[in-house]
Amino acid sequence: MPQPGLDWRFKPSEAGRWFVLDLLKATGCLVIVLHHLSVYSPMFDRVMLLAPMQWSALYNHGQLAVQAFLVVGGYLTASQFLRALPAHLQGLPAHFSVFKLLWKRFLRLEIPLMAALTLTVCVTAMVRPWFPHSSLSAIPTLWSLAAHLLMLQDLVGMQALSAGIWYVAIDFQLYAMVLLTVWIAAKLHLWQPRINLRGVMVLLWLILTALSLDWWNRQRNMDVQGLYFFGSYGLGMLAYRVRLSRLTAKGWLVIFLLGLMALWLEPRLRMGLAWGMALMLAIWPERDQAKVDPPWLLFGRHVFSAIAQRSYSLFLSHFAISLVVSAVWFNAGWQGPWINLMGLLLSVALSLVAGSLMYRWVESQSATWRHLLAWQMAFVLSGLATIALS
């Protein structure tokens, strides 16, 4: 895990980062931030007057950027397991623990989530008296606090206390499903040692991806469950497997046919986008490391890579920042489209700063029991204080 520090310099040696992944993550994150501003900020209604068609596209379709997170997330998860379980390995390594990996993932997601929700609950309580707007979440209850602690708020039908945090629960569910496939493959290998461990894992990923693309993702009542999103996630996993294979053309064809079948059954823009990104990741050529980029291109790569590295913290913290800026603009009574556009841009800029600070002080710190309990306690206390003062 990177060392804490407000350092936007990109270090190519960090975990062998691939810029194409960073570009997808950074762009997707920025689009999601702007999409949430279009949905929740009253400033956006004024900005719409500048270019109604273009801004309405951001409002109506900006959520499609989530597909970038899903595909890249699947790609990185596959790389983690396929690197840890090389082809020559017979069975799971002695140090490989499904429970420890699941717990590690929970800590990585939960600690920044609790920090962000603490911030959002406090900011919401602060602006509620002078910013009467539908974007404010309801006053928390004991049950909603408990549901958020376990990332179950959407599964039990409770209103989320911040925008976009449904994805955190989905990410955890998807990772748990992948770990389940590893466990099943290991059990089958123990039962029949001639069974190839990695081969069974990839086969299970392929089956789950196909089922999700062709069935679960078409069920509207399943959009709070990981099964609904495994199609996009699985396409990213298969894209990484294709890059490892010597039979690249056949692997690429499998991804192509999976997406083609899904779109034939029901054309969906979100699936088409995920399909296209997976195909790109499967065949995109490796960059020549000897190539020297011009300074302006190198700077752009550094910026996008820095945003990608902090994308989770930015994703979690931007809603609280947007509430503060929106409340200030609302009470100032600024009606002009250009001044409101400045407000939107200020929200994005301050969100980048907040995301970097959260990355430095929370996400990049060691994920331990102590940090988990501290931030969970902070979240619960902020919720109880809001309840008591309401």
User: What are 70-115's pLDDT values in tens digits?
Assistant: 999 999 999 999 887 766 666 677 677 889 999 999 999 999 999 9
Q: Identify whether the C-beta of residue 73 lies closer than 8 Å to the C-beta of residue 29.
A: no
Measured distance CA(10)–CA(19) in Å, rounded: 10
Distance CA 23, CA 1 (A): 20
Q: Is the pLDDT of residue 8 over 60?
A: no
203-207 long-range CB contacts below 8 Å, 24 or more apart?
205/78, 205/178, 205/181, 205/234, 205/237, 205/238, 205/241, 206/234, 206/238, 206/254
Longest dimension (CA), the chain: 72
Three-class DSSP category at 160: coil
What is the C-alpha to C-alpha distance for residues 71 and 89, in angstroms, rounded to an integer?
27
pLDDT at 207: 97
pLDDT score for 88: 63
Give the model's pLDDT for residue 9.
30
Question: CB of 358 within 8 A of CB of 112?
Answer: yes
- The overall average pLDDT reported for the chain is 90
The pLDDT tens digits for 12-50 are: 333 346 889 999 999 999 999 999 999 999 999 999 999
Mean pLDDT of 165-172: 97
What percent of the chain clears pLDDT 90, i.e. is strictly above it? 77
Residue scoring higher pLDDT (5 or 32) = 32
Q: Is the pLDDT of residue 304 over 90?
A: yes
Q: From start to end of 187-338, where are the E strands?
A: none
What pTM was computed for the model? 0.91
**Angle 142-149/369-389 helices, nearest 10 degrees?**
160
For the chain, percent of residues with pLDDT exceeding 70: 91
